[in-house]
Amino acid sequence: MSSINISKIPNSLQEHWMPFTSNKDFKENPRLITGAKGVYLTNHKGKTMIDASSGLFCNPFGHGRKEITEAVAKQLEQLDYCQPFQQGFGGSFDLATKIARHTPGNLNRIFYTICGSTAVETAIKISVAYHRAKGNSQRFRFIGRERGYHGMNIGAISVGGMVNNIKTFASILMPGVAHMRHTHLPEHKFISGQPATGVELADDLERIAANFGGENIAACIVEPIAGSTGTLVPPKGYLKRLREICDKHGILLIFDEVITGWGRTGSAFASQEFGVTPDIITMAKATTNGVVPMGVVACKEEIYDAVMDASPKGAVELFHGYTYSGIPVAVAAALAVQDIIEKEDIFSRAKEMVPYFQKGLFTLQDIDVVENIRGYGMMGGIDIKMNVKPGKAGFECFKACYEAGVNFKATGDCLIIAPQFICEKKHIDEIIDKLRTGILNYSKNLKN
């Protein structure tokens, strides 16, 4: 008997233009998720799947957390919305204090945005505003990195290094952006942790500074570990060298920790994990366990002070903000997440699971279609051998794994694995077993 629950499939799938989706393929064979609890998802066929990527890296504390649901419901009853311009409510200040307890150094000034992309665009604007306030308006250039992903607004795709974005939207990209090379070298094969080679790739920043004049560069933005393009772990010493070059030229260093923030590496932020303090950190996703959109920009105190000092009292110091900057429901969810982090010592829990997860991940290297595996903390990337054209193998393999009962995100030909921090060893085993089944099924189909 078929277990398909037809009532869960909408009458028409045509009107919704889905984001980052092969719409035509999906609408022929939809994958609808109907429920989520703990580490499991249920689809419209009634099948249970394990969530191996924490949604899109955003639900590491588990699906269906009652504490968050209750906090959001209570907030909606008490104060559903409050405009964030020239007004406020207590929660956003409490949350900023709590976030600042986790951020490294004196990155204690917290600006709320709507998502990761808006956090990145805000960081770009704050960098420009800071340099203007210091009398350095000539600093308008930004340095990103190939294979970087920072979101989808114009600022974010300009500093990002995803080829499709750069090609498709070339005519509207921000001016004055240069890219360093990415950090993935051919010899980086099946390495768990930081590769020993490639520190010199950071010198690209020095070369760009020599070319354009370091005094004209506002900021350099990188993901400490490039997440969306396949868990590219920074070579040993790389981030430290970037920091040194930025300091030499007065360039702000922005770490985009939208994925690596809130425990993904085993430390609160990758910054602490790698011992390098940037000037600005962007975060989003896990801030609310993914249940309400929210982005955050944490800045060094001197950045905030410079922007404040440049304006007379009564003026709006930073001409920037969003209707949904730190709205009550997002703040309520984020405060509930802060409680979970504290009560469950959840970063330590993630850190303890890292060796087990990494070991399990690398057991998949014997599969013939697995070309490479990379990993750090509770993140991993599995490259599947290209099949005819880039992206096909990754997508087909993703679908085979979905059928095998494990869900995750694939980018191009890379399967991106990011388990939830509430995973027990048995859940990691289940993820790895089902990945093996799914990848092998994909491989068998290729041969038939």
Binding residues for ligand PLP, rule: CB under 6 A, are 56, 115-117, 120, 149-151, 223, 227-228, 256, 258-259, 284
**Do residues 249 and 209 lie in contact, with contact meaning Cβ atoms separated by under 8 Å?**
yes
Closer to ligand PLP by CB, 109 or 145: give it.
145
Question: Which tokens go with 279?
Answer: 């000037």
Shortest Å distance, C-beta 35 to ligand PLP: 23
CB of residue 221 vs ligand PLP: minimum separation in angstroms? 9
> Between the CA atoms of 65, 66, 67 and 69, what dihedral angle is there, to the nearest 10 degrees?
90
Nearer to ligand PLP, 233 or 284 (CB): 284
Give 389's DSSP letter: B
Question: Given the complex with ligand PLP, which of 220 and 259 has the nearer CB atom?
Answer: 259
Sign of the dihedral through C-alpha 396, 430, 408, 371: negative
Closest residue to ligand PLP, Cβ-based?
116
CB of 369 to ligand PLP, least distance (A): 26
Ranges of beta strands (E only) in 377-431 are: 379-384, 406-407, 409-411, 414-417
In the complex with ligand PLP, the residue whose CB is nearer, 162 or 364, is: 162
Quote the tokens at residue 1.
């008997």
User: Least Å distance between CB 255 and ligand PLP?
Assistant: 9
Nearest distance from residue 291's CB to ligand PLP, in Å? 13
Q: Minimum Å distance from CB 116 to ligand PLP?
A: 2
Which among 59, 214, 216, 242 has a CA at the least distance from the CA of 148?
Answer: 242
**Closest C-alpha to 290, from 119, 99, 58:** 58
Report yes or no: 428 and 62 within 8 Å, Cβ to Cβ: no
Tokens of 255: 């770490």
Between 256 and 273, name the residue whose CB sits nearer to ligand PLP.
256
The nearer residue to ligand PLP, 55 or 84, going by C-beta atoms, is 55
- Buried b or exposed e, range 135-156, using 16+ CB within 10 angstroms: eeeebbbbbbbbbbbbbbeebb
Give the pair of three-digit tokens for residue 176.
């004055």
CA angle 175, 180, 182 (to 5 degrees): 130
Please report the sign of the dihedral spanned by the C-alpha atoms of residue 127, residue 129, residue 130, residue 136. Answer: positive
Find the shortest distance in angstroms from Cβ 23 to ligand PLP.
18
Judged by CB, which is closer to ligand PLP: 120, or 369? 120
SS3 441: helix
Answer for the pair 390, 412: CB distance below 8 angstroms, yes or no. Answer: yes
Sole residue written with tokens 């099946």: 190
Distance CA 391, CA 386 (A): 7
For ligand PLP, the closer of residues 334 and 404 by Cβ is 334
Least Cα distance to 52 among 347, 412, 440, 397 occurs for: 397
Q: From the CB of 256, what's the least distance to ligand PLP, in Å?
A: 4
Please state the closest distance from residue 448 (CB atom) to ligand PLP, in A.
35
Shortest gap between Cβ of 56 and ligand PLP (angstroms)? 6
User: Between residues 258 and 331, which has the closer beta carbon with respect to ligand PLP?
Assistant: 258
> Which of these, 297, 146, 144, lies nearest to 230 by C-alpha position?
146
Q: 214 or 227: whose CB is closer to ligand PLP?
A: 227
